[in-house]
Amino acid sequence: MNNQRYVVIDVETTGNSPKKGDKIIQIAAVVIENGQITERFSKYVNPNQLIPAFIEQLTGITNEMVENEEPFSAIAGDIFELLNESCFIAHNIHFDLGFVKHELKQAGYGGLECNVLDTVELARIAYPRFDGYKLTELSEELKLEHENPHRADSDAEVTAMIFLHMMDRFKRLPLPVLKGIRRLSWHLISDAQELFDGLIVEKDGRAELEEGYIKVGSFVIKAPETAPEEPEKETFPPRETHIWEDGSGLSSLPRFEKREGQTKMMKEVWTAFTNHEHALIEAATGIGKTLGYLVPAAVYAKQTEKPVVISTYTTLLQQQILQHDIPLMQQAVPFSVKAAVLKGRSHYLCIHKFEQILQEDDDNYDAVLAKAQILVWLTDTQTGDLSEINLPSGGKLLWERIALDDRSYEKTRPFKELCFYERAKREADNADLIITNHALLLTDEINRRIHTAHADTFVIDEAHHFERAAGEQFGARADYVSLHKQLMRLGTLKQRGLLKKAERLFRSFDISSETFFQIDEWLGRLIEESDMFFTSVHAFVKRRKPKKDVNRLLYKVGSGGENRAWSRLEEGARRLCAMLYDMHQLFLDQKEQLSGKRASFTSRQAFLLEEYQSCMAYLEEYGNKLRRLLFEHADDEVVWIEIDAKGAKNAAAFYAQPPDAGELLADRFFTRKRSVVLTSATLVVENSFSYMIKKLGLSDFYPRTLQIESPFSYDKRMKIMIPTDISPITNDHPEDYTADVARYITALSQQPNAKVLVLFTSHDMLRDVYQLLKDDDDLQCQLLAQGISGGSPVKIMKSFKSCQQAVLLGTNHFWEGVDFPGDELTTLVIARLPFKPPDHPVESAKCERAKQKGESPFQAVSLPEAVLTFRQGIGRLLRSREDSGMVVILDRRIRTSSYGRVFMKALPPASVEEPDLSGLKAYISRL
């Protein structure tokens, strides 16, 4: 480490803004010299004002603790001397530096001279794979003790330790990477130039590149791992067939307990594979579903010397299978199993693109930070997969430019051995098990270029989503935002966009740039026309669906509301499509002019042209898509518009989907496969697979079916409450029902260490309940709400898990696919039975089809869909044998309606009670 003196500072304050009068109540410093902590300082400060209650709760610092302490002015001289001409380090530098500078200035110490380093920013660069960069998250990842979070002395100490860890990490980076970060550092918050200069000098004279790395242009990647030597050929069929006969072969698994349901599943999967049949298996939580199909899949792959493809709906489950379940399975079988994950091209970094974009002089902060992160990440990734790296929100735009696509794929030839997508393909080609996702599987089926063509045996996990995924993949979408983004990327000749750069390129080769002036004119009109068109679409839908309390409005095209206003929209769409077509014709002229010139281009010029061509090709494709959606869609295709009623006036999107994706799945997927096993925790309605068989298009295949019950002791572990005094759900007085929901949530929050998840079907109801709870003084715990509390559902879930007592209000995302094991969830509340809105275009089209067949739309479509979602929601509570808790259903229709019995049948075999609010409170008081 260089000779710079570093001072790590942390302050606790009465609020967030020194300009609004907030004051420091504790300050701590840790001094680092020559890579060692040499000094510590900590002091409580009297702010001469009361500490707010929430600050006392957060920090544990009370008014009594500071009332006899000195004010900041008394220690200002010491702080100024400590910091002056040192490097000021803090975790979120703007906060601590802002308070310290403000307090020093008020005490008469202005003009503090010091460089600054932000450990949040540096941690993002040093550890681009970490899930989060809060002090608690970093200390957990780096296994550092953090005794008192939100106390200045503890926070300063752990920040200093994190900084020392980061310095060690930076020292180990190859020299080209350090030089690359140094070039980018001018645009960072931190004054990091001196720090990286010192690290570069330390490496000077050593080898430019250590073993294990490969230099590509101006950056470095980790050398691809060589495949381990093949073991001696194993003979199959193996004697291990008894694994699913009696389960004894699984005894080698750590902490493995023989599960009857898992053994049943293994036998059923094996039978379906060997008989070349399709099968539906509902495997309840707790039976070990994933191992239940992985073990027979591995044996079958070895026997047939053909891979088995495992497809999931979520990338989260893909990673879990690869990182957790495959290693467990490997211990269960006495032969080696190769597994590979295969995703779409856009998930992988394009080495060719990154080399070009890295050379650009970019002053966008998120793009610069993302580039620095990627430089470090490339020194240890073997996959180049986006899911591995935690980019800033603006960094996603950079990723769109550097991700592999169909056009850039050809440019990877010089890097074929290094190309991450090629590596993934090679691994998949040599794998026994290929793990992919529904979207890619179905997209590749459409394009007939699936890389698993030699595979004919499949497992579809999370199978209750397969038909929906098919509908999305067989459909289309066109919206304002994606079009506007490409138009802005292209820019006009007066802006710093691709059009201006391409025009300069043409002129530099003495090619006429006349077409650029014509395209520039078209672009100006296109930007104006697209804005007018989507604004008109937004207004059209809003006038026909004027719901004040609903944010997302949908309008089904062809529903009878088309009139002169609709005709005007069609005219606008034709103009937009015509403009996009005419502009593309000008672009084709440009391509003609370039013929014979390309050989003279430098790599940067060639890359610029690739980006320009990619953008123009996107606009042509967009015009074709919009034309299809409005004028050329299939007769049996559902087309609709969605708008954000309370958002921008042009926030509108067109969608098209087949009303029955099951028919397409039958023709394009199931008929071409020898065996497909579909599994999920929820495939059955009223103890029958009939609905799911029909939905998936499997009726003509007569699939095998098996329902495996959960081994959990629901009668001992789960209590189900259906309150009697909840207001009925009516459109006349929804506020009465909302108020009752809020009252019950407040009562449930009084449980010891309560962790309450409340599931809603409408964000608008969620928002109304949130407003009531926010103002309720009896709610003495953390309140989190999807779409309100800030952050993604994943971040909200992490916050919920970390709280000792909390209430989380969630909608669609939280009905399934989220796990809260142990005491992370004590109570599950279902605010309303999860019927889909009957006016959703796909839903209404399915209901219309059922009516045409003489079926009841409610019984044939709406009810079974709601029951499956209901079962998914209930499944959030118990995730292991040791879990326990309470389910509270606040929708009396489960007891009062004729269809309520179907939901009651869907409940686990647990005791059901029907108390009123006072009865529930009495039960809680006894806990």
Q: Please report, for residues 4, 27, 28, 59, 82, the alpha-carbon distance to residue 41 in angstroms, rounded to integers and kept in the order given.
A: 19, 8, 5, 18, 10
pLDDT higher than threshold 60 for residue 443: yes
Which of 446, 571, 539, 910 shows the shortest CA–CA distance to 719?
910
Q: What is d(CA 337, CA 732) in angstroms, rounded to the nearest whole number?
A: 61
**Whether pLDDT at 626 is above 90:** yes
Query: Do residues 783 and 757 lie in contact, with contact meaning Cβ atoms separated by under 8 Å?
Result: no
Beta bridge partners of 478: 654
Asked if the model's pLDDT at residue 834 lies above 80, the reply is yes
- Tell me, what's the pLDDT at 376? 98
Query: Distance between alpha carbon 746 and the CA centroid of its chain, in Å?
Result: 30
User: Residue 602 — very low, low, confident or very high, per pLDDT cuts 50/70/90?
Assistant: confident
220 to each of 111, 196, 212, 354, 366, how far by Cα in Å? 41, 17, 10, 11, 21
The pLDDT value recorded for residue 255 is 44
| Residue 445: pLDDT band with limits 50, 70, 90 | low
Per the annotation, binding residues for ATP are 283-290
Residue 692 exposure: Cα atoms within 13 Å on the Cβ side: 30
pLDDT digits (tens, 9 = 90+) for 642-659: 998 778 899 999 999 998
Local structure of residue 240 (DSSP, 8 states): G
State how far the Cα of 352 lies from the Cα of 409, in Å rounded to an integer: 9
Angle (CA) 832-856-313 rounded to 5° is: 55
Report whether 345 contacts 403 (CB < 8 A): yes
User: Cβ atoms within 10 A of the Cβ of 768, count?
Assistant: 20
Q: Classify residue 224 by its DSSP letter.
A: P
Per-residue pLDDT, averaged over 300-311, amounts to: 93
Contact (Cβ atoms closer than 8 angstroms) between residue 829 and residue 890 = yes
List binding-site positions: 283-290
Averaged pLDDT, 254-259: 57
Q: Which two tokens stand for residue 44?
A: 């409580």
Domains within the chain, CATH numbers bracketed: 6-172 (3.30.420.10), 259-338+431-474+665-711 (3.40.50.300), 477-657 (no CATH), 714-926 (3.40.50.300)
Per-residue pLDDT, 246: 54
Check residue 234 and give its pLDDT: 58
- pLDDT band of 240, cuts 50, 70, 90: very low
Alpha-carbon Rg for the chain, nearest whole angstrom, is 31
- Given a cut of 60, whether residue 898 has pLDDT beyond it is yes
Identify which has the larger pLDDT, 647 or 114.
114
Nearest to 155 by CA among 167, 142, 144: 144
Q: Determine which helix (DSSP H) or strand (DSSP E) holds 426, and give its type and residue range.
A: helix 420-429
- Partners of 885 in the β-ladder: 718
∠ CA 923-926-927, rounded to 5°: 95
Residue 633 is predicted with a pLDDT of: 84
Cβ within 8 Å of residue 313, ≥6 positions away: 437, 438, 461, 462, 465, 466, 469
Most confident of 206-210, 394-398, 742-746, 792-796: 742-746
Here the tokens at position 637 are 């295709």
